[in-house]
Amino acid sequence: MGTIIAIGAGLAVLAGAGAGIGIGIATSKATEAVARQPEAEGKITKILLLGAALAEATAIYGFVIALLIIILLS
């Protein structure tokens, strides 16, 4: 039973990998956008931070689910 719990928790934490990749891609695109239009830097930064926060929220949800699986099922 313990192995199944560990596998489930590990799968739940994989949400963090997707969030990291998404934030990396968004940051690279924002950097390109600022390089092309420096006058729009403030607007681009606001949108980037909002997107990063939403992506990071999914990673935190995955982490919380993993903790709940470990704590409640073991």
pLDDT tens for each residue of 12-71? 888 888 888 989 999 999 999 999 999 999 999 999 999 899 888 988 998 899 889 889
Q: Does the pTM exceed 0.85?
A: no
Give domain limits for the chain.
2-73
Q: Is 14 strand, coil or helix? A: coil
User: What pLDDT score does 74 carry?
Assistant: 76
Q: How far, CA to CA in Å, does 44 sit from each of 5, 49, 51, 64?
A: 42, 9, 11, 30
The values of phi and psi at residue 72, to 5°, are -80, -25
2-73 folds as F1FO ATP Synthase (1.20.20)
